[in-house]
Amino acid sequence: MAGSMQASALLITKLIDHAAREHTAQEIVTYWADSSITRTSWGEVGKDARKFAQAMQRLGMKKGDRIATMAMNHAHHLISWYGAAGMGGILHTVNPRLFEEQLVYIMNHAEDRVLMFDKAFAPIVESLKPQLKTIEHYIQFDGEKGEYPTFKELIDAEDGDFDWVEMEENDSCGLCYTSGTTGNPKGVLYENRSNVLHALSAIQPDVMNLTSRSVMLPVVPMFHANAWGVPFACAAVGAKLVFSASNEPSILWKMIREEGVTHSAGVPTVWLGLFADMDQNGGDYGKMQVAIIGGSACPRSMIVRMMENDIHVAHAWGMTETSPIGTAGSRPTNWDDLDFDERVDSISKQGRPPFGVEMRVVDENGNVLPRDGVSSGTLEVRGPWIIKRYYRADEDAVGDDLWFDTGDVAVMHPDGVMQITDRAKDVIKSGGEWISSIELENAAVGCPGVAEAAAVGVFHPKWEERPLLLIVKKPGADVTGEEIIAFLSDKVAKWWLPDEIKFVDELPHTGTGKVLKRAIRDEYKDYKLGSLSEA
Amino acid sequence: MAGSMQASALLITKLIDHAAREHTAQEIVTYWADSSITRTSWGEVGKDARKFAQAMQRLGMKKGDRIATMAMNHAHHLISWYGAAGMGGILHTVNPRLFEEQLVYIMNHAEDRVLMFDKAFAPIVESLKPQLKTIEHYIQFDGEKGEYPTFKELIDAEDGDFDWVEMEENDSCGLCYTSGTTGNPKGVLYENRSNVLHALSAIQPDVMNLTSRSVMLPVVPMFHANAWGVPFACAAVGAKLVFSASNEPSILWKMIREEGVTHSAGVPTVWLGLFADMDQNGGDYGKMQVAIIGGSACPRSMIVRMMENDIHVAHAWGMTETSPIGTAGSRPTNWDDLDFDERVDSISKQGRPPFGVEMRVVDENGNVLPRDGVSSGTLEVRGPWIIKRYYRADEDAVGDDLWFDTGDVAVMHPDGVMQITDRAKDVIKSGGEWISSIELENAAVGCPGVAEAAAVGVFHPKWEERPLLLIVKKPGADVTGEEIIAFLSDKVAKWWLPDEIKFVDELPHTGTGKVLKRAIRDEYKDYKLGSLSEA
């Protein structure tokens, strides 16, 4: 009985065609690395994407070929995404902040044929080049022409008279590697269908709440899980996009205020930087309405500050393998009945999954745990934008029932709300019980004078592990370890209180701004815990 | 390269499973025909749907079999939708307000095997029964048990321990006939995929703007294009649903006010009735935020009144063949810059299509007309929730390019906004030019004292056709034809002014509350136009 309604494939090209046709004049603004600002539109991006597709064909690219980018967020990067998808290519976003050996591994593993890169990354490219075995074409995205052909001359040579290559909705269109903590990075291969369904889900009020009147500044890099799908979701509704190739807080504030940004998306560290800049230099939040915060848990104090300024925090959880939205901290059904503190409590959790994502928490033996708000276990997910198999892997990343082990530890509440308590590998195991490093850190960041915090488990002869809390003070602050312990004492269980607080000048971060717990654990694995007073 | 992300079919059963799992306690409230009010929840509806599926299998229903309903909006009707879909059945919603011969034709053509009906429609069922050739089981949805088994005893006999039947996303799940103006009614066969994609589109802010905090009262009947997809969209977000088996304005207001209704969906006539009741009996709009108004064009005066009370009018356009959302009057990008009158102007148009729907206007020779805000032609649409072929038809309703001729006349504006100007068959052809009957009517309804208006073209020896305007006065009003003409004269072109205004006691309506233009045209086709003063 199939065939009564139209077969209409869910394709990335349909997203850009929709935006270009229905929201032709809507602006796409870029702040470039050279401090210049340019404006284009969905209509122009649609045309340029066709030129890019033509250019790639001219270079010999065929359906399924990998086209790599090593770039910040800007309009040329956006055009390359849609253009590559439109000729059936697979756009591989490479994270320029990875270690050199990871970069080499990734690009050789992907067998990328083209590398588009920002001029700022030219030194990295030069350094990698001798080891990159499959790249035939190096093209510079921005800036003045140097040794390599530029993006501009590439597309200027084309007329844009191009029909998108015919595709099925399950055809791949994007590739992003996760930098795992063990072994080599693994590639997540996105499909047209998974990206379109993810975009349709993302625009709903309980996720990103996007309309054609939204102005979105994705601070999350485009090389990080498709910038959380923002460039696709914005095309679906015709939102204005504001890109910044710089993540300098003063630049971000400038763009937020001058361009009327209503929505942003980024990791908590970004907002710590923005708040610090505001505290020092003043200024307002402009027209900001929604801050999508994910990548790591959003500290309570950040949620409070946002809410006091009428900004909704969409507290998102996800990963590269989940496209990435798994939850977005949707407001609960009884929101109107909650007081301010209860609302903060609610937003501090990661929320309910949108339609499409199924979620459960299982114990070490794979038994599904009850949604009782207490039982803590490994979070598993499945759905149309969740990974099945890593790129070029020999076997699926999931079993027959499709449940994917996220490596996160979570609790499910009776009303369906999911709360991440830790990464499985970051949990501090004290006397057979689990201490959430994330909860410790988020509580500590709320203490006056504390800029950043990291809790790790350190060997303890009796308890197996006990928490060590590393603290970066705010500039000029003189908070003490005793004050922090006192601050924490009514916020976490007594036996969770760290055995030692150590002040450090800075913490190591990943390329996407998350604290690099693995490096800290490695550094402190043989650390001898002192008492608080000794610290 | 397919298979890197999970194959996860878009199924109606996934919608109910999601709502039952993630929004278990969310209420579904029904005001029944006997004035009682009952409450159930998404969790309970999920369980009862499995029981319904079991019961249907017990009655011998198999995948693809048609299960008919002749019923108002209530929880049992909702359960039957999800239950029928869950056993692979096709839920056929029959409009009880059709003529007897149409009802007989439809149910015989569909070869329905089961008929679920409201007690209120038992007399119709009794009268049709001798002519219904394929119905094996008659089941009464509501009220006390009489001659037929009841819905309650049907599902009470089951334990709900049932796995949904395995399905492909293109499998059919719903059937709705359109009562065309010529020939026999035609069946539109909805698929799992088309309904799920339609629901995902409907929940976005620029369409219905639905969340788990929304409280939706669909006044549009469930037998009218799936109640505009509302029962599916509400499951996708876990919204509270409020049903009323009565469309009595006082009852609707009671439910709106007592249940905290934030969203409603219905034809303009419903709101005319609600306004009249409010004007007479007082009362407020409760928590109403969004009124989805479609089925026929929403008069300007209605939009003004809504907007003055901070209610957003989602001015929807669509038809049974489009699932039905084609547009939903989304606010334009420059909304914040518009003054009140400009906003009303904007909402008076039908708006831009959401992602998924493609739209164009063509002339009589099929040439695509420019989006210039002037060129008027036939509106064509295509997309994943647009019809391809009517049920049991021998050929497609569309050509190879999938464009579906809607039979509506529209103009596309430069910013992509679509404006319906008339039904193709309702256009008044005067001297080779077109007069929009809808614009005349909507303008007339804004005149004080006018309750309802209908404009039809009447034979004219010189101009071919000239407009006759039929007016129903508000109770007690004494407006004259001269006053109406004076009122219209600065709102429409001079040559559009009706040649005659005729006052009538009432206008004929379709089962869904639209003015039955065909009946009026038939009645007045040989009418001799007088002058205004003679009328």
Q: Residue A413's domain is classified under what CATH number?
A: 2.30.38.10
- Chain A interface mutation, best of B1, B5, B390, B413, highest count of A Cβ atoms under 10 Å: B5
Pairing state of beta strands A325-327 and A317-318? antiparallel
Q: Is B140 exposed, middle or buried (0-12, 13-18, 19+ CB in 10 A)?
A: buried
Q: Residue B154 and residue B141: Cα distance in Å, rounded?
A: 10
- Residue A532 is assigned to a structural domain of this protein: no
pLDDT < 70 positions in chain A: 1-3, 180-182, 432, 511-513, 531-535
Asked if residues B121 and B511 have their Cβ atoms less than 8 Å apart, the reply is no
Q: Tell me if B389 is assigned to some domain.
A: yes
Find the length of chain A: 535
Answer yes or no: is B462 within a domain.
yes
Whether A206 and A65 share a structural domain = yes
Q: What is the pLDDT of residue A534?
A: 39
Task: Mark whether A288 and A391 lie in a shared domain.
Answer: no
Q: Is residue B531 part of a domain?
A: no
Tell me whether residues A236 and B355 touch, CB distance under 8 A: yes
CA separation for the pair A190, A225 (Å, rounded): 10
Task: Pick the residue from chain A with its C-alpha nearest to B201.
Answer: A200
- Regarding whether A365 and A244 lie in a shared domain, the answer is no
Extended strands (E) in A8-133: 27-31, 37-41, 66-70, 90-93, 114-117
CA of B355, closest CA in chain A: separation in Å?
6
- Determine the residue type at A216: M
Which of B286, B315, B348 terminates a domain? The answer is B348
When pLDDT is averaged across residues B125-145 and rounded to a whole number, the result is 96
Q: Is A321 a catalytic residue?
A: yes
Q: Would you put residue B265 in left (φ > 0), alpha (ψ -120 to 50) or beta?
A: beta
The DSSP letter of residue B296 is S
Give me the residue from A1, A21, A352 closest to B171, CB to CB.
A1
Burial degree of B63 (CB within 10 A; 0-12, 13-18, 19+): middle
Q: Which residue of A has its CA nearest to B418?
A: A22
Q: Do B355 and A15 touch (CB under 8 A)?
A: yes
Cα–Cα distance for residue pair A379/A360, rounded to 1 Å: 6
pLDDT at A129: 97
| DSSP per residue, A307-346 | HHTT-EEEE-EE-GGGSSEEE--PPPTTGGG--HHHHHHH
CB contact at 8 A, B271 and B451: no
pLDDT at B51: 98
- Residue B106 within any structural domain of the chain: yes
The whole-model pTM stands at 0.89
> In terms of domains, do B52 and B189 share one?
yes
Q: Under a CB-based contact definition with an 8 Å cutoff, are residues A327 and A353 in contact?
A: yes
Neighbouring CB atoms inside 10 A of B482's CB total 12
Whether residues A205 and B206 touch (CB distance < 8 A) is answered with no
Q: Are residues B133 and B273 located together in one domain of the fold?
A: yes
Q: For tokens 């869910």, what's the residue?
A: A10
Q: Is residue A6 part of a domain?
A: no
Burial class for B518, CB neighbours closer than 10 Å (0-12, 13-18, 19+): middle
If asked whether residues A45 and A59 sit together in one domain, one would say: yes
Q: Are residues B399 and B291 in the same domain?
A: no
The pLDDT of residue B421 is 87
At residue B532, does pLDDT exceed 60?
A: no
Q: Taking the mean position of all CA atoms in its chain, how far away is CA B495?
A: 33
**B22 and B45 inside one domain:** yes
Structural domain range at position A52: 15-348
* Residue among B168, B323, B353 minimizing CB distance to A22: B353
Q: What is the pLDDT of residue B449?
A: 94
Question: Is B434 assigned a catalytic role?
Answer: yes
Q: Please, which pLDDT band fits residue B533 given cuts at 50, 70 and 90?
A: very low
Instruction: Give the SS3 label for residue B252.
Output: helix
- What is the per-residue pLDDT across B30-46, written as a single tens digit (0 to 9) for each? 999 999 999 999 999 99
Q: Do B445 and B377 sit in the same domain of this protein?
A: no
Nearest to A333 among B21, B213, B383 (CB): B213
Mean pLDDT of chain B: 93
> Phi and psi at residue A211, in whole multiples of 5°?
-135, 180
Write the pLDDT tens digit of every residue in B61-90.
Answer: 999 999 999 999 999 999 999 999 999 999
CATH code of the domain containing B144: 3.40.50.12780
Among A63, A388, A434, A473, the active-site one is A434
Question: How many separate domains does chain B show?
Answer: 3
The one catalytic residue in B429, B474, B502, B514 is B429
User: B203 to chain A: which residues are within 8 Å by CB?
Assistant: 204-205
The residue among B284, B315, B348 that closes a domain is B348
pLDDT score at A517: 86
Report the CATH number at residue A453: 3.30.300.30
Contacts of A197 in chain B (CB under 8 A): 200
Q: Closest residue of B to A393, CA-based?
A: B4
3-state secondary structure of B292: strand
What separation in angstroms does the CA of B359 have from each of A441, B145, B379, B399? 52, 49, 7, 15
For residue A175 the two structure tokens come to: 């590739």
Nearest Cβ partner of A200 from B1, B201, B391?
B201
- The strand order across the sheet containing A90-93 reads A137-140, A114-117, A66-70, A90-93, A172-178, A186-191
Q: How confident is the model at residue A181, as a pLDDT?
A: 52
Residue A7 lies in a domain: no
**Are residue A394 and residue A486 in the same domain, yes or no?**
no
pLDDT digits 0-9 by tens, B354-385? 999 999 999 988 999 999 999 989 999 999 99
Alpha helix (H) residue ranges in B286-355: 300-308, 340-348
Judged by CB atoms closer than 8 Å, whether chains meet at A4 and B383 is answered as no
Cβ–Cβ gap A384/B193 under 8 Å:
no
Do B42 and B154 reside in the same domain of the chain? yes
Closest CA relative to residue B10, chosen from A351, A167, A235, A201: A201
Looking at B407, B423, B439, which one is the last position of a domain?
Answer: B423
Whole-number percent of chain B with pLDDT over 90 = 81
Measured between beta carbons, the chain A residues lying within 8 angstroms of B5 are 189-191, 193-194, 323, 384-388
Alpha-carbon distance of B423 to B155, in angstroms, equals: 44
Sequence-separated (6 or more) residues with CB below 8 Å from residue B56: B67, B83, B84, B87, B89, B114
Give catalytic status of residue A178 as yes or no.
yes
Judge if B163 and B250 occupy the same domain: yes
Find the catalytic residue in A169, A191, A259, A321: A321
pLDDT digits (tens, 9 = 90+) for B427-474: 888 876 778 888 899 899 999 999 999 999 998 888 888 999 999 999
Mutate to test the interface with B, among A178, A321, A337, A355 (most CBs of B within 10 A): A355
Residue B350 or residue A460, greater confidence: B350
- B416, part of any domain: yes
Tokens of A451: 């800029």
Scanning B349-467, the segments in alpha helix (DSSP H) are 437-445
CA distance A11 to A192: 5
Contact residues on chain B for A263, CB-CB shorter than 8 A? none
For position A511, what pLDDT does the model report?
Answer: 64
Question: Which of A10, A240, A333 is facing B26, going by the closest CB pair?
Answer: A333
Q: Are A12 and A196 in contact (CB under 8 A)?
A: yes
Active site includes A38? no
Helix, strand, coil in percent for chain B, rounding step 5: 30, 25, 45
Say what angle helices A230-237 and A75-86 make with each other, to 10 degrees: 80
